[in-house]
Amino acid sequence: MTYRRPPLALLLPAVLTVLGVLLPLSYLVLRALGAEWTELREIVFRWRNVQLFGNTVLLTVAVLVTTTLVALPLAFLSARSDFRPRSVLLLLGVLPLAIPGYVGAYALIAASGPGGALDTLLGLAWPGPSGFWGALGVLTLFTFPYLFLNLHAALRAQDPALEDAARLLGRSPIQTFRKVTLPYLRPAWLSGALLIALHVLGDFSVVSLMRYPTFSAAIYQQYTAAYDRVYSAWLALLLLLVTAAALWLEARLMRNLHVSRVSPGGAREPRRVQLGRLTPLAWIFAATLAGAALVVPLGTIVYWMRLETNPFAWAGLWEAARTALGAAALAAFTTTLLAFPLAYIGSRYRGRWARVTERAAYLGYATPPLAFALALVFFSLQVAPPLYQTLPLLIAAYTLHFVAEAVGPLRSSLNTATPRLEEAARVLGLSAGRTLTRVTLPLIRPGLLVSAAFVFLSVLKELPLTLLLSPIGFETLARNVWTYTEEAQYASAAPYALALAVSGALLTLLILRRDHPRRPASSAGPADSSRGRL
């Protein structure tokens, strides 16, 4: 059952979320407009802005193309082929999420070139990644899982009757895939592509290490090195315009786009394609991807860690890990706490208020983290200077930025938990509070854990918000990896990078286990009884 108007107690978090994002952004606008007209004209109409715009858009589009070329074949092999073991492909499609882009960039830089890990161990002086191609390669390797997860889920959920009908009408397997399967995957691709586009638009660490100028890299450089806050504010506004254009384009492409099942009966798994003579090619593809995204980065980190001679790097590892894990745990708690009423409204209510809360959740996530951090800097200095570079401001930034990641799993859990149980509890005399604690929360406990794990992993890897908003002396794993890598101290960065990768891998496996519970053998459908052949 759904209701129209949620109570004020549930609407209040949505209002706070909107204010928490819009107020700092308004001060960012005021800061950008706070210069003389002649200075503003010189800032806005710089040729460099055109170059940054072209570089940013080019990199975003290129990453969408390359991640599709990686994620789509991998998802198809995992969900729709007879490749064995399929769990290897699933892990390969998910585990790169555990490695932040800047850690992957650090590892690939440290592995290549004269004196790198590959040169020392194998005598292979692989050219070091840099510029556009280096940024494209690194971002592809460590963002394609966002697309893989969406495509994999869509391929598993597709109604086989669609393809069966196409084959009965005389279509070949290739024609069926092109005319039936690919159009079906369009919503999943658009959702994953939007996440990747937002990630690329907001990334400054990879492009900075690769020396490829984009809006985000220029914002960080202008704010930290040139101390030009007016120009950095304008660059942040221009980046927000590009992000808004990406959101508008995705919404327009998703408009009136519906995918539904053909057969109203029980769902059966789509048939699995027999690879036959293409099996070796599938193994080569999987092995190459595993080597580039997992083996080389992790192997390089271990290699440089063995060479570590800086006692200060090892001495600060435990403190940085404790600080990072503590901040991530606190942010995961506050974010999940804020996300619950937003998800509850989205699942139990309908109409304008439900749409408002949904947009409120994604408002902070759609704002590039560097632009959001810069806005919070201006806001705190103008309104509440004591808040600047304090832990509460940093936790608030994490919460507002990542609340959308927590809303998704919670809303899914609430949608599967029928509201009739809550209504029955109220009829039996339980108050709203006791119904929440004794009925609703136990039903959605898996969603709560997945939401908290998602946010914990994201905060653990987050760099822009941490660099600009963290208190003085606030050392984390991500911050130390960035600091040592920027100074080309690869051996000193290795322990922090390995701790970050291992922590991320454990959390990723936990999320994967929660989202993909092992299905009993008795429930396996007749999908394997009729197979196609490539």
Q: Are 532 and 271 in contact (CB under 8 A)?
A: yes
Per-residue pLDDT of 131-141, as tens digits, reads 999 999 999 99
Per-residue pLDDT of 173-209, as tens digits, reads 677 777 777 777 888 888 888 889 988 998 888 998 8
Query: What's residue 268's pLDDT?
Result: 58
Angular region, 484: left φ>0, alpha ψ -120 to 50, beta rest: alpha
Q: Is 257 helix (H, G, I), strand (E, B) or coil?
A: coil
Q: With DSSP H G I counted as helix, E B as strand and the rest as coil, what are the percentages for the chain, rounded to 5?
A: 80, 0, 20
Spatial CA neighbour of 210 closest among 141, 142, 134: 134
Q: What is the mean pLDDT of residues 5-14?
A: 74
Distance, CA of 442 to CA of 435 (rounded, Å): 10
Domains, the chain, ordered by start:
1-36+317-474 (1.10.3720.10), 46-257+279-291 (1.10.3720.10)
Q: Is 484 helix (H, G, I), strand (E, B) or coil?
A: helix
Q: Which residues contact 248 (CB under 8 A, 6 or more apart)?
A: none
Q: Are 52 and 213 in contact (CB under 8 A)?
A: yes
Q: What is the mean pLDDT of residues 498-505?
A: 87
Given a cut of 70, is residue 530 above it in pLDDT?
A: no
Per-residue pLDDT of 239-253, as tens digits, reads 888 888 888 888 788
Q: How many residues does the chain have?
A: 534
Query: What's residue 508's pLDDT?
Result: 81
Given a cut of 90, is residue 489 above it in pLDDT?
A: no
Q: Is 273 helix (H, G, I), strand (E, B) or coil?
A: strand
Mean of pLDDT over the chain:
80
Per-residue pLDDT of 271-283, as tens digits, reads 777 888 888 999 9
Distance, CA of 495 to CA of 93 (rounded, Å): 25
Q: Locate 426 and state its tokens.
A: 């109220």
